Amino acid sequence: MNSIWVRYCPAFVRRHLEGRHNLQEILANIGWLFGDQILRMGVGLLVGVWVARYLGPEQFGMLNYAMAFVALFGSVASLGLNGIVVRDIVKEPETANTTLGTAFLLQIFGGLLAFGLAVFAISFARPNDNLAKLMVAILGFVMVFKATEVVKYWFESQIKSKYIVWVENGSFLILAAVKVGLILFQASLIAFVWAAFAEGLLVAMGLLIVYFWRDGTMSAWRICYSRAKNLLKDSWPLILSGLAIMVYMRIDQIMLGQMLGDEAVGIYSAAARISEVWYFIPMAIVASVFPSIIEAKKQSEILYYQRLQQLYDLMVFLALAVAIPITFLSDWLITLIFGSSYSEAGRVLAIHVWTGVFVFLGVASSKWFLTENLQKLACYRTLLGALMNIGANLILIPKFGVTGAAWATLASQITVTYASDALNIKTRNLFWMKTKAFLLFKHNRLGSL
């Protein structure tokens, strides 16, 4: 039977969808993920801008510094298990409970380790800043709650992301209202940090409740030592890769805070907030089509690479559709949204928005590395990008200030997600596929995925 929503589609769309149940599930899943992120983009940007205006560049910068600092250790908390768990559940559904139980325990340990590392590191980065230490400690403990994300992996593997959307959107809206209340009652900076902590706790509880409601209880989960070894064997390159990704995604804010002060972080973060708000697009699409790409590989290598090329074409088309207009409207957008006190962020946004083109491609190609079991290679190239970003920031921030950090981030993204593919024979085909996506500028229909 067709999904109910198909009945309400135009006739020419229905003809392409009828009887194609896998495609219907993918499109419905993407719809839920897009709905989730569009709501977050709208409400989150509105509330985020209000918070930025209320706190001002310096306090807003300090908040974003603490969040970026904690994010550096996020890959330790997740242990790089997301794609691994989804892949294994799709391939071996009969061992799902063992995979989930083992991954859950591993991520509890990972969260505690990440929390300890964050608290230890901030004591060296800002030894005399007690407020920064407290903020990092509060935000860092949220990483322990992320163990419940194994529930997300389960729903992703079943292409049932709507349940994740219910939980995350509900929590997000509640906390958005709380933040508005904090502004109206003129709360201090630390109150917004506690609000972020409450959101993490609420999401964790919600995920477990929905899982119990829809798919059973945790009592069915099993912990297996050999399974843990296999998961970590596959995921350790992704842990390092994730750390490297966070370095070249967030080290700019940390280095700006250390070298120029919190106000510079606030200016940069305002630009990044608009630039990065679109990153949900590739994540939603790739999360939905990943299971079908794995299935395509089982059928035919030709079909497999056809679908990858279609995905790259789509990523480039969508990213350029965002980057081009924002480049010309950057100054106007910043002043309109954040106010004149953030006007310097316009120049940063015009540069930083182009990193999205390569982020879109990077999200898509990351699944290829996972499917081909080339996590080590992915790790090496992201480590290269992280080192490049640190070096570029050290050179460019003193010379060009906040815009130097934007140029450093763009250069590292190009290196990691595109140029480095040409350096290795195993990935050279990816380089030409991505180049083809740029040259042809062709947008294949998602339905063909």
Cα 167 → chain centroid? 17
Instruction: Name the DSSP letter for residue 43.
Output: H
Please check whether residue 145 is in contact with residue 201, taking contact to mean a CB–CB distance below 8 angstroms: yes
Q: Minimum mean pLDDT among 83-87, 222-226, 324-328, 380-384: which range?
A: 83-87
Phi-psi region of 441 (alpha: psi -120 to 50; beta: other; left: phi over 0): left
Closest CA to 323 of 346, 348, 354: 354
Distance CA 235, CA 85 (A): 10
- Give tens-digit pLDDT for 200-250: 899 888 888 887 777 666 666 788 887 788 878 777 777 777 777 777 678
The sign of the dihedral angle between the CA atoms of 35, 36, 41, 45 is: positive
pLDDT confidence band for 271 (50 / 70 / 90): very high
Q: Which amino acid is at 148?
A: T
For the chain, the average pLDDT equals 81
- pLDDT top residue among 274 and 81: 274
Within the chain, how many helices (H) and strands (E) appear? 18, 0
Q: Which of 32-46, 207-221, 408-422, 433-447 has the highest mean pLDDT?
A: 408-422
Q: How far apart are CA 383 and CA 386, in angstroms?
A: 5
Q: How far is CA 162 from the centre of its chain?
A: 18
> For the ranges 73-87, 128-142, 347-361, which has the lowest average pLDDT?
73-87
**Tens digit of each residue's pLDDT (9 = 90 or more) over 387-410:** 888 999 999 999 999 999 999 999
Q: Per-residue confidence at 15, pLDDT binned at 50, 70, 90?
A: low
Residue 4 in this model has a pLDDT that exceeds 60: no
Q: Is 340 exposed, middle or buried (0-12, 13-18, 19+ CB in 10 A)?
A: exposed
Side-chain-side CA neighbours of 136 within 13 Å: the count stands at: 30
- If 0-12 CB within 10 Å is exposed, 13-18 middle and 19+ buried, where does residue 138 land? middle
Taking residue 220's Cβ as centre, other Cβ atoms within 10 Å add up to 12
